[in-house]
Amino acid sequence: MSQNQKYNHQSNDKYIDSLFDIEIASSERLRALILIGLLGLESVLLMVIYFFYRSQYLSLFNTHIAIYAILIFTLVIIVYEAFIHFFIGKKMRMFFQHMSIFGYVNSFSEITLLTGLFIFIVEYSGQTVILQAPATLTYFLFIVLSTLRLNFRLSLFSGALAAIQYVAVSVWYSTVFSRIPTDRFHPDLTGMQYLGQGLIMVISGIAAGFVADLIKKKMLASLNNIKEKNEVIDLFGQQISPQIAGSILEKRDELLGTRKKVCVMFLDIRNFTPFVESHSPEEVVTYLNSLFHFMIDSVQRHDGVINQFLGDGFMATFGAPVSEGNIPQKAVRASMEIIEKVKQENKAGSIPPTKIGIGLHYGEAVIGNIGSSVRKQYSITGNVVIMASRIEQLNKRWHSQLIISREVFNELDAEVKTAFMPQKPAKVKGINRPVLLYVFKEE
């Protein structure tokens, strides 16, 4: 891994690690908006209920203070949540630095505001009926929405705090305060009621915590998947297509070093040296880029990997690191596609007159990452590589553009085999025995 790659890898790690914090901030802002919407809706619906059941309401409270207090509370909490939404958006860095503390403080503030509302209503109405009313279910709204913070302990804290405050207020007004001589208060709460509801609040906090923890684990798994994909990209650069990047992640053991059958392609551009001598470096680069653009596309479309560029050509491998389908046939299809594309580009005058030579051989190779922690390279080694290179060189002798070995030919479908013509056993440099080769019959 080069220094630039190492720097990019470290930067990428930091970026991935920050994605979770950004998601938490987004969830907290979303939570504030949801609370604003739900509490606003709650106040509207309460007014509608009050309009239709005003007489029953007055028989309970003997005053309008409860409905006014609820509306005022709703307005206060909406303003508070709007401030939270604005604050996180403007002070994102400060939020990240104190994210855990912020969550606890925010949860404490919301639940305490609601408890304060109930205390206010009881104090000014002289009735504890509000502590049995549906309005107390608003506690569960805060508990349920705590899951968006993706923190088990924070959800548990929200449930426990709501239970403690609700039970404490209920105990105070139904037992302790009721012993003080006064005609104002008429306690009608039983221990079974407030203790039961408090217990459900705690259980709801635990349940919300489990949901939050599950969502958090799934999110971290997704982020780790992104991180692993980026690690593959760091390793292979632009050698592979996005389609097989996913397959590599599923078969990561194959990156450690293993034996497997692969089809190796060597491609060479004919008469490249004379072209270089008669053109400027800029023209040479433009020429190579125009050729490699569609050649690489063809290789990758057939699940091949560009292992290395060789100046006037490249080496590609089919079947490693991912083996899927008929590997030799994919290599042949890619080769035929490249030849046809060169022919079209020549005819259209898009490139200088160009001919290429391609050699394919299918056999066993040792594949895997070779190197140190500083620099690693995905390598293909074995006789199959040498054979493919030697076979490609025979194109010059036979004035052909594609030669394949018998091992490749034997794996092809009958229809594809008809496109090749067998040659007499040929002597290949570095190989003691003559080999049987097949030449692509160009139209």
CB 266 within 8 A of CB 359: yes
First-to-final CA distance of the chain: 45
Q: What is the pLDDT of residue 14?
A: 56
Q: What is the dihedral of CA 212, 215, 216, 221, to 10 degrees?
A: 160
* Distance, CA of 402 to CA of 399 (rounded, Å): 10
Q: 185 or 281: whose pLDDT is higher? A: 281
The model carries a pTM of: 0.50
Does residue 2 surpass a pLDDT of 50?
no
Q: What is the pLDDT of residue 20?
A: 66
Which of the residue ranges 67-76, 104-113, 131-140, 372-381 would you say has the lowest mean pLDDT?
372-381
Q: 98 or 22: whose pLDDT is higher? A: 22
Q: What is the pLDDT of residue 343?
A: 92
Q: 269 or 84: whose pLDDT is higher? A: 269
Q: List pLDDT tens digits, range 358-414.
A: 999 999 888 766 655 555 556 777 889 999 999 999 998 889 999 999 999 999 999
Q: 339 or 233: whose pLDDT is higher? A: 339
Q: List pLDDT tens digits, range 254-264.
A: 555 678 889 99
Domains and CATH numbers, the chain: 3-232 (no CATH), 239-440 (3.30.70.1230)
Residue linked to tokens 């299918």: 362
Give the residue-averaged pLDDT of 110-114. Answer: 87
A 10 A CB-CB count for 256 gives 9
CB 215 within 8 A of CB 150: yes
Q: What is the pLDDT of residue 61?
A: 59
Q: What is the pLDDT of residue 175?
A: 74
Does residue 349 surpass a pLDDT of 80?
yes
**CA-based angle 38:42:45, to the nearest 5?**
135
